[in-house]
Structure formats: C-alpha cells, structure tokens
Amino acid sequence: MSTQTQTTRSAELYARACKVLPGGVSRNAVIRDPHPLYVDHAQGCRIVDVEGVERIDFANNMASLIHGHADPDMVRVVSDQLTKGTAFNMGTEAEIEYAEYLLSRSEGFDQLRFVNSGTEALMLAIKAARAYTNRPMIAKAEGAYHGAYDYVEVSQSPSPDAWGNADHPSRVPLVSGTPASAIDDVVVFPYNDTEKAIALLNEHADQLSCVVLDLMPHRVGLNPAEPGFVKALREWTTEHGVLLIIDEVITFRTEFGGMQQQYGIHADLTAMGKMIGGGFAIGAVAGRHDVMDVLNPKSKRYLFPHSGTFSANPIAMRAGLVAMQKFDRPAVDRLNALAERAMAGIKNAIRETGIGASVTGAGSMFRVHMKPTAPRDYREAYNTADENRKIKVLLDHMFDQGFVLIYSCSATLSTPMTETEIDALVAGYRGAFEKIVTEG
C-alpha cells in the first residue's frame, strides 16, 4: 500500500468524509487502507489524484467508461444539452433516437425501456417477468451479482460455512433483516453445472417466472459460461414457459450485440447499464415485444405500471448514443484484441515466474486469480485467507506502480488505451508476481 501520511490532502478529505458519510464513503468500492484517494481530474485512460499522482485507469468506474474520461465527443453533446435542459416531464427525441440505435445492435431486441442503473434494469426485468407469467419465483446462479434488490442479493456472497450442499445450495441473504418471503422465492443453482441446475429448476418449474443469468459473472470468477450450460438453460426456460433474463450490464461490451451473440441465443429480456450511458447513470431493458407489452399502458396486457423521474433523461440519452455509436464493430474488435494481448502477456508472466495463478475473462475484461486453475463456479472462485493476502500484495503493488484495478484484480479496458498501456500493465503484473514469489 502506498505510504500515505495523515498530512496528505486525501487524508484530510477522508477525515471530513467520515463525519458525514458512513465509513466516509457512499460506495464501498472506493475504500482503501488507510483511506481512499480522491480524484482531481482525468483524461482518456489516465486519472490524477489530489496529490498530483497520475495512474492508468483499468477500473473505468467499474467497467462503465468504455471511452475513458472526459471524452471530447461526450463533453460536446452533454454541454450542448445542458444549455437546453437536463430533464423534463415530457418526452424527448433523444430517447427515441437512442432506443432505435440500441435495438439495431441485436436481432433479439424488439422494444426497450430506459431506467437509471443496472440495478433498476434487473428489477424492471424481473418484475416484468412476474407480470407476464403471473408467477412469483426467480432463479439465479450462486455468487452472481445482479444489483441491489432483495431477491437477486440472495446467495450473492455466501461463505463456506453457510452455502450448504452443492446439490442444493442454501439460500443465503446478503443483508441482515432480508424478509424470509424474499429469500423463499429464489432458487439458487450452481454456475456451470447443468445437471444440478436443471434438477433444481425442475423442483419449482410451475412457480418460476424467470431465470436470471450473467454469461460471465464477475464475482463468480469472470469466466465465460460453458456453452452447454447456457444451451440447457435456454432450452429449459423455453420448454417450461419461464423467461430467460440475461444480465448484460457489464458483458454487453464483449460483442457488438452483447455477449449472448457468442452463444447464438436471444434472451427474452436483456438488462443493460454501465457503459451504455456514456459516463452517466443509465439502465435499460430490451426484449420480446409480447413481454415488453406488459409495460404498455395502451396494451390489453398492461400489467406493470412503471415510471422514473430521471429515466431517459436527455443527458444520458445524448451521451449514451454517441458512446455506443463510437463503440462500433471495429472498436469492439480492437479493444478485444488488446485484452487478448494483455491476457497472453499475463499468462506468460505466470508461467515464467512460477506463481500459482490464473487469468480469466473475455472481450475487454479479465481477472487474475491467485489460483493455479481457473475457477468454473463461485465455490471454486472463493478465496482462501492466503489467496486474499496475495491479492492484497498484488493490488498494492499495482497501485503503487501506477495502475488502478478493480478490487478483485480485474481490469476493464477503454478505447483510449493502446499497446503501450497494455504492455505496461503486463510488466506491472510480472513485477507483482515476482514480489509474491520472492516474499512467499
């Protein structure tokens, strides 16, 4: 960890923050020991803190900044919109234009509704599924994160002493006081285990409204779902009249039409967020026309009244449209190639240093594990105390060397990056591996 003293500007700011914010923060992801560092400004893929230290940003605000910081095109369209207003109790053409564009990126998208975050998108998708099927229960993979909603928080972070038998995982609440009624309405299945998953789904086939699936869940190990597993879930949901909701809040960046494009399937509903806002708060749900019709007040199947004060605000619409237009097929391919270069370099460093580590990922995201074999599911991805110690050494070393990573040793790329930044990152990882091997 960087040897900060209590005389730094960041230390002063944190002391003030602790008086007005629980833990001194509004989101735990920014916490560092002994205190968070605070940003002064950022441009492209580089971020400068209030002490004047510059770092290359491989966190990109938890994968939400596909074009890095202060992108000139985003600044231009947002500045123009600011002079016209930021939000209205009327529609805007910007909402229509952006919906038309996002729908054009996937044949599986018939209609779309905007919200304000990935969490909201998952909430809307699940509630729409319940309304459409008139069934209460949902199913999700053990360890998968799908936002801050009681139902999808079940078994988000279970520990070995609570997670139960793999054949029938326990339903473990994330937050103390979560209603038992919410916990009981969730089926938890092991990720990448087709036989166990299908057996568990069969137990509640007539009560399930949807299966929620992330094709490469971060907390499960950032390892792409096995094709046979995905195919089985798609076939089972279709057979039983259960909707398949694919969470593409993070993974939409992996392909022009989202990660489901790799598997040759279309979800009934797809939740999106993060990068589609061009740096602003956003969420969206796209899906089949007949399912989306439950949100339509003029439809005979209107079952789900929904609104939101800042949904489809023109700032996020204008910024998002420009961001996604710039993230066209060549841009997707270029960024994915840079990630492949990084993963190959890291794997080579793992081999040459002899450290017991592995790397997972796809598209423009990857994660380093202090495990010799890449995990297939949440239980395999769960870190031991020694693995957590090594991760801390790795993260501290990388931060001190000028790299901002996600807390799990994950990295996401942005389009301002080049081979220079990628090769520097690989060299940083090599140095961290050598340090861990040497120090034991």
Sheet with 365-369, strands from edge to edge, namely: 358-362, 365-369, 410-412
User: Residues 66-86: what's their mean pLDDT?
Assistant: 98
Q: Is residue 238 part of a domain?
A: yes
**Per-residue pLDDT tens for 141-179?**
999 999 999 999 999 999 999 999 999 999 999 999 999
Q: How many CB atoms lie within 10 A of CB 67?
A: 24
User: Residues 52-74: what's their mean pLDDT?
Assistant: 97
% of the chain beyond a pLDDT of 70: 99
Closest to 58 (Cα-Cα) out of 397, 365, 386: 365
Full DSSP string of 15-55: HHHHHHSGGG-SSGGG--SS----EEEEEBTEEEETT--EE
Is residue 397 over pLDDT 60?
Answer: yes
Among residues 326, 360, 383, the one where a domain terminates is 326
What pLDDT is recorded for position 33? 85
Residue bearing tokens 């594990």? 369
Contact status, residue 219 vs residue 147, Cβ threshold 8 Å: no
DSSP strand E in 154-229: where?
186-189, 208-213
Of the pLDDT bands very low, low, confident and very high (cuts 50, 70, 90), residue 3 is very low
Is residue 236 over pLDDT 90?
Answer: yes
Amino acid at the residue 165: N
Contact status, residue 428 vs residue 411, Cβ threshold 8 Å: no
What pLDDT is recorded for position 16? 95
Q: 346 and 244 share a domain? A: no
The sign of the torsion formed by the CA atoms of 174, 379, 410, 98 equals: negative
What pLDDT is recorded for position 1? 44
Q: Is residue 14 part of a domain?
A: no
Is residue 440 over pLDDT 80?
Answer: no
Is residue 6 over pLDDT 70?
Answer: no
Q: 193 and 57 share a domain? A: no
User: Residues 248-277: what's their mean pLDDT?
Assistant: 98
Structural domain span for residue 312 = 72-326
Q: Is residue 18 part of a domain?
A: no
Distance CA 166, CA 142 (A): 10
Is residue 74 over pLDDT 50?
Answer: yes
Q: What is the mean pLDDT of the chain?
A: 96
Q: Is residue 10 part of a domain?
A: no
Q: Is residue 365 part of a domain?
A: yes
Among residues 294, 326, 358, the one where a domain terminates is 326
**Per-residue pLDDT tens for 349-380?**
999 999 999 999 999 999 999 999 999 999 99
Q: 56 and 78 share a domain? A: no
Q: Is residue 31 part of a domain?
A: no
Element (H, E) at 285: strand 283-287
SS3 122: helix
What pLDDT is recorded for position 29? 87
Distance CA 59, CA 403 (A): 9
What pLDDT is recorded for position 5? 45
Of the pLDDT bands very low, low, confident and very high (cuts 50, 70, 90), residue 423 is very high
Q: 42 and 116 share a domain? A: no
Among residues 307, 326, 345, the one where a domain terminates is 326
Query: The pTM is what?
Result: 0.96
**CATH number of the domain enclosing 138:** 3.40.640.10
Q: 260 and 391 share a domain? A: no
Of the pLDDT bands very low, low, confident and very high (cuts 50, 70, 90), residue 301 is very high
Element (H, E) at 404: strand 403-404
Residue 74, judged by CB atoms within 10 A of its CB (0-12, 13-18, 19+), counts as buried
Residue bearing tokens 């900060």? 4
What pLDDT is recorded for position 104? 98
What pLDDT is recorded for position 133? 98
User: Residues 204-230: what's their mean pLDDT?
Assistant: 97
Is residue 267 over pLDDT 60?
Answer: yes
What pLDDT is recorded for position 311? 98
What pLDDT is recorded for position 4? 46
Instruction: Tell me how long the chain is.
Output: 440
Q: Is residue 13 part of a domain?
A: no
What pLDDT is recorded for position 53? 96
Q: 311 and 261 share a domain? A: yes
What pLDDT is recorded for position 31? 87
If one counts the domains in the chain, the total is: 2
Q: How many CB atoms lie within 10 A of CB 172?
A: 19
Angle at 427 between CA 421 and CA 429, to 5 degrees: 105
User: Residues 391-410: what's their mean pLDDT?
Assistant: 96
Q: Is residue 9 part of a domain?
A: no
What pLDDT is recorded for position 2? 47
Q: 110 and 167 share a domain? A: yes
Is residue 41 over pLDDT 70?
Answer: yes
Is residue 322 over pLDDT 60?
Answer: yes
**Per-residue pLDDT tens for 239-248?**
999 999 999 9
What pLDDT is recorded for position 32? 85
